[in-house]
Every structure is written in C-alpha cells, then in structure tokens.
Amino acid sequence: MSLDSVSIYANQFKLEGGDPIEDRDIKVHHPVFVGNASEYFHIWVVNTLLSLVTLGIWSAWATVRNRRYLYGNTELAGNRFDFHGNPLAILRGRVLAVIFFSAYALGGDFNFLIPAIAFSLLIILFPWILSSAMRFRLSNTSWRNLRFDFSATARVAYSALGFPMFLVLVAYGLFFMQSQWLLGEQPESFSMRTVWVNGLYFLLASFAVIPLTIYRIRNLTINHTCYGDHDFTAELALGRFLLIFGQSILVALAAIILAVFLFGAIAGGLYAMLGAAITGKFGIFVVIYFLLIPLYLFPYAAWKVATTNYVVCATRFEGLQFKMKMNIWSYWWVMVSNALAAVCSLGLAIPWTQIRMLEYKLSCLTIHGELQTYHGSNVGKNSTTGDEIGDAFDIDFGF
C-alpha cells in the first residue's frame, strides 16, 4: 500500500436538499498504519517487564512509548501523527486512578458500600473526567507539527452531561438498593428473582439512559475538538441513537436465546466426551469463553459499528468530509479472533491484536476534500488524572 495520500476521482452526486455526499474531482485521503507487530511487540514486552519490575511505576513511561509508536506510525497524506505526553504527568494521574479503581474493585471485601460509593463518585465526576481526558489526549497529539485540542471546560461538560449522569446515578442507586433488599429479604430466592427483576429493570433503564448519554458524549467530544485554530463539527440526532440502540437490544436478545440453546447442547456434548471434567472450573471456562463471549460481542459490535459509522460520517472539518464504512461481521470477527489469540497466547499476542484492530479501522476510514495548511498553537496540557481514571475503568471517550 502506498504511503502517499491517495487521490480518487469518481462519479458523484448530490442528495435532495443539496448535501454533497461525494463530489466530482475531490481528493480522497486514506490514513494508513505503516508499523508492524514485530516492532511493537519488542516495545510492548520491554514496557511490560519494566512495569512489573518497578511495581507499576514504569507504566507511565510505557504508556507514552506505546502511544508514540502507534501514533507515529499512523500516516495521513504523507505526514505522521505524534504523541507528546509527559510520563511524570501520567504517573501523577495514575496514582489517583489506582486508588479510585482499588476502592471500586476491592472495597467490597471490607464493606459493601465502598464500591457503591466509588462507582457513584465515578458517575458524578464523569463530565470532569471526560473533559480532562480529552484535553490531555488531544492537546498532546499532533499532525504536521500542529496539535489538536479540546475546548470544553468542566463546566461545559457538566452542562452537557449533568442530566444524563443524574439519570445514571438514580438508576444505579435504585438498582443497588433493589439488589440489597432482595438479598436481605429472601436469600433463598435471591438468585433467580434477582436475575429476572434486575434484568428487566436494567433493560428498561438502559433504554432511557444509554442512547441519551452516548448521544450527549459524542456531541460534546466532536463539537469541541479542535485542530490548531480550526473546529470539528457534527450535527447528530438523538433519534438515530435510539434506533440503533433498539436494534442492538434485539440482536442481544437473539444472541441470548441462541447462547442458552447452544450452551445446553455443547455442554451436554462436552460432558459426554470429558466426563466430570466439564463440571470443573476449566470446563465451564472453556464453554463460556468460546461460546458465550463471541455471542456477547456481536450485539456490542452491532452498536459500535452503527454508531461509529454514523458519527464519523456526520463529522465535518474545514470543508472536509469523513467516511467510515466498518462492517458488523468484519468488526465482530476481528474482536473475537483477537480475544482468542490473546487468551491462547497468554497475552503475548496483545500487541498484534492492537495493531490489527487499528489497521482495520483505518482501512474503513476515508477523508474527502483538500487538506490545507492549518494554523494554531503547538502547546500541550499535562493534567492527566481524568485520562488515567478513564483508562482504569475502560471508559470509551470516542477518541
């Protein structure tokens, strides 16, 4: 694949209303990844070993080295991206992130309220976490020696996300209290009753909260992203997110039904072949991972592909139009095969899986229009606490 910007000229037209989907004689640029898994593996494995030896202290420098390799080998129009994050700033943010995550993940061993409080704080602080993380990541990312930036302050983030975060907090509070009541009142029937009642509650709450929250997040992140002095814009519709979420729920229900059917059939077959071994943890792990996890990932793939394609195609920048044409089956297969490779290799295939996913996404992205000479500041920001908390809880900021 050529490393130069690719120009494509094709027959193009306008939709009714005058919105040009494609136009005659407009350049089409294809971002490409020019690195390879072997080089990245050496960087990744050294970073992993040093992080273990230093009890996690080196992980801040590992983050910078990993991102610099991935960004520095992503090329657009003959120019590569770069990452300029300060490891010391990342380390400071990571200390707080570890404390926060530990309270959430391990606090339940001391008091059941600790993880509930930690998760509630995460919800309350999320707008600040989002704005902080986006500002750090973007302001320390450059292309053609000019940096990106994120203009939304914490106040703007709370203005945009305060209401959906309030709904999330209320939904989580009711969910938590309901679970504790069921556990305390009728422990003998806790298992099935909790599954059905909380499952129905979660489904109803999801319809009210998730599409609205993601819609607000995408609107905030895209419309406050800058490249130099130039702004990205996107006109997104809440109805589109509601429709996609409803379709994804239907896919999820179909996957659950299929999983129940296949689980019984395959578990019975494995029991006949392996005997009592299937009743042990290993047998259950094999069945769950190789059957249920791929089925679980398909509804997620349906949601992720549809929303990403929609948001990217709605994004504009100084006359440029972006096109994303990911395919649900292809994206799902990349996720599933990456997960299988990572597990079967005991984690050693992780660098390969990261590059493979990056290459797939870039292969589906095109930028239509003439890339110009842009102007703006080239100074980054080093407040990374939000970025590290987001990474610790695996929060998708849409970057």
| Least trusted range by pLDDT, from 94-98, 106-110, 140-144, 206-210 | 106-110
pLDDT at 9: 34
- Residue 187 within any structural domain of the chain: no
Let me know how long the chain is. Answer: 399
Q: How sure is the predictor about 372, in pLDDT bands with cuts at 50, 70 and 90?
A: confident
**pLDDT for the residue numbered 249:** 87
Q: How confident is the model at residue 50 (pLDDT cuts 50, 70, 90)?
A: very high
Domain-located, residue 5: no
Distance of CA 315 to the CA centre of its chain: 18
Phi, psi torsion values for 29, nearest 5 degrees: -105, 135
Task: Kindly state the average pLDDT of the residues 226-231.
Answer: 91
Task: Give residue 56's pLDDT.
Answer: 82
At 275 the pLDDT is: 52
Dihedral (C-alpha) 310, 244, 201, 196: value to the nearest 10 degrees?
Answer: -130
51, pLDDT greater than 80: yes
**How far, in Å, CA of 103 to CA of 266, rounded?**
38
Q: How far is CA 177 from the centre of its chain?
A: 29
- Tens of pLDDT, residue by residue over 307-358, are 999 999 999 998 899 999 999 999 999 999 999 899 889 999 999 999 999 9
Amino acid 181: pLDDT: 62
pLDDT tens digits, one per residue of 115-154:
778 888 888 888 988 888 888 888 889 999 899 999 998 8
- Whether the pLDDT of residue 385 is over 80: the answer is no
**Confidence tier at 195 by pLDDT (50, 70, 90):** low
pLDDT of 386 above 60: no
Q: Give me the mean pLDDT over the 248-253 stretch.
A: 88
Q: Is residue 196 part of a domain?
A: no
Structural domain includes residue 130: yes
φ, ψ of residue 317 to 5 degrees: the values are -155, 110
Q: State the residue for tokens 């379709």.
A: 247
Choice among 7-16, 133-142, 204-213 with the minimum mean pLDDT: 7-16
The pTM (predicted TM-score) of the whole model is 0.80
Q: What is the pLDDT of residue 286?
A: 64
Residue 295, pLDDT score: 82
| pLDDT tops 60 at residue 200 | yes
Domain assignment of residue 184, yes or no? no
Indicate if the pLDDT at residue 13 is higher than 80: no
Residue 399 located in a structural domain: no
Higher pLDDT, 295 or 16: 295
The span from the CA of 266 to the CA of 218, in Å, is 40
Mean pLDDT, all residues of the chain: 79
Task: Count the neighbouring beta carbons within 10 Å of the beta carbon of residue 82.
Answer: 17
Per the domain annotation, does 344 fall within a domain? yes
Between 80 and 267, where is the model more confident? 80
Range of the domain at 299: 28-158+201-392
Q: In 10 A of CB 247, how many CB atoms?
A: 14
Q: Is residue 91 part of a domain?
A: yes
Is the model more confident about 209 or about 148? Answer: 148
3-state secondary structure 206-259: HHHHHHHHHHHHHHHHHHCEEECCEEEEECCCHHHHHHHHHHHHHHHHHHHHHH
Q: What percentage of residues in the chain have a pLDDT greater than 70?
A: 71
Mean pLDDT in residue range 250-276: 70
pLDDT at 289: 65
222: tokens are 């895209």
Number of domains in the chain: 1
Residue 193 has pLDDT above 80, yes or no: no
Of 145, 148, 126, which Cα lies nearest the Cα of 137?
148
Q: Which residue has the higher pLDDT, 269 or 337?
A: 337
